[in-house]
Amino acid sequence: MRFALMVEPQQGMGYADLLAIAQTAEEEGFEAFFRSDHYTSFPGPHGLRTTDCWATLAGLARETSRIRLGSLVSPVTFRVPGAFAKTAATVDEMSGGRIELGVGAGWNELEHHELGIPYPSDKVRVDMLEEELRLFHGLWGEPDGWTMEGEHIRVGGTHFRPRDRRPPIIVGGTGRPRSVRLAATFADEHNLSSATPAHAREVNALLDAACEKVGRDPQTLTRSAMTGVLVGRTASEVARRTKAQLAAAGQEGAGADEWLAARAERWVMGTGAEARDRVAALEEAGIERVMLQTFLPFDIDHVRVMAEIFLG
């Protein structure tokens, strides 16, 4: 199993906070560091500090040296796709080829309205995502002069540089038919969001079938899972972090037990043995890489505990 660390900087993290946790992840031996791409703060209090995903990844590209860096995931609505491809290529060059490009249709309507970003219907956003994925493959993989006539993207006379390498493309989802098809057709990796091992097994079977339908070897599509993580060296440490997690999510009080129960089968929780058992179940379901998603981004020791449990 391969391990990446995933954070949600919209919980109030500035660039210095991001740098501290990314450098810790690198020092502890994580393969990759991913951040979300959101402009409004959640879970927990609204109105906290937020940062731009790709501006901060550019900074991390210059202030780390080994760890891979990426987005999980960048909504198609946030950036003009051609300009976004140029941004990703630039940051990839700045990192020495360590960028991974996670993309999705977007879902948080509030953050679009707050910044005046158009928020089309679900179907239109997924249509836009499909065209964005076609564009990425064309810009990086087709000869100069390539053209594309889509409903949302029209390209002519392309001359895209640099294009000596394309960052790996990750398509995230929960196993819906269209996201499965897009992953099989365009992605290097499918990232399943916060799922049980049983659901991971079901989605992997759907991905296998979708790959075969488009004439692709299913083994060429990496399967990963993004899962919440709440671990400790001892039971008392887990209890302390659980209390902090409930506070960060605004779930203190009568509904706390119900909130935790809803995540018990989907998150990696507990002390070392318990956490490793959950990851082993995901591996048995066909997951090759786990993005450990912490919602306690200011708890640097939490990162060290994850490394001790999974990488030590």
The domains of the chain are located at: 2-310
Collapsed DSSP state (helix, strand, coil) of residue 219: helix
Write down the pLDDT at residue 45. 84
Q: How far apart are CA 259 and CA 140, in angstroms?
A: 44
pTM above 0.85, yes or no: yes
Write down the pLDDT at residue 253. 82
Task: Choose among 255, 155, 244, 265: nearest CA to 200.
Answer: 265
Q: How far apart are CA 134 and CA 221, in angstroms?
A: 17
Taking only the tens place, the pLDDT of each residue in 6-48 is 999 999 999 999 999 999 999 999 999 999 999 999 888 888 9
Q: Which residue has the tokens 């199993």?
A: 1
Which is it for the CA torsion 6, 9, 13, 17, positive or negative?
Answer: positive
- The tokens for 291 are 């993005």
**Under a CB-based contact definition with an 8 Å cutoff, are residues 202 and 287 in contact?**
no
Write down the pLDDT at residue 296. 96
Q: How far apart are CA 49 and CA 18, in angstroms?
A: 12
Query: Domain 2-310 class?
Result: alpha beta
Q: How far apart are CA 258 and CA 93, in angstroms?
A: 46
Taking only the tens place, the pLDDT of each residue in 260-289 is 999 988 999 999 999 999 999 999 999 999
Estimate the crossing angle of helix 300-310 against helix 272-284, to 10 degrees: 60
- The tokens for 116 are 């005046």
Q: How far apart are CA 228 and CA 249, in angstroms?
A: 13
Taking only the tens place, the pLDDT of each residue in 54-78 is 999 999 999 999 999 999 999 999 9
Write down the pLDDT at residue 116. 97
Taking only the tens place, the pLDDT of each residue in 165-224 is 999 999 989 999 999 999 999 999 999 998 899 999 999 999 999 999 999 999 999 999
Q: How far apart are CA 18 and CA 20, in angstroms?
A: 5
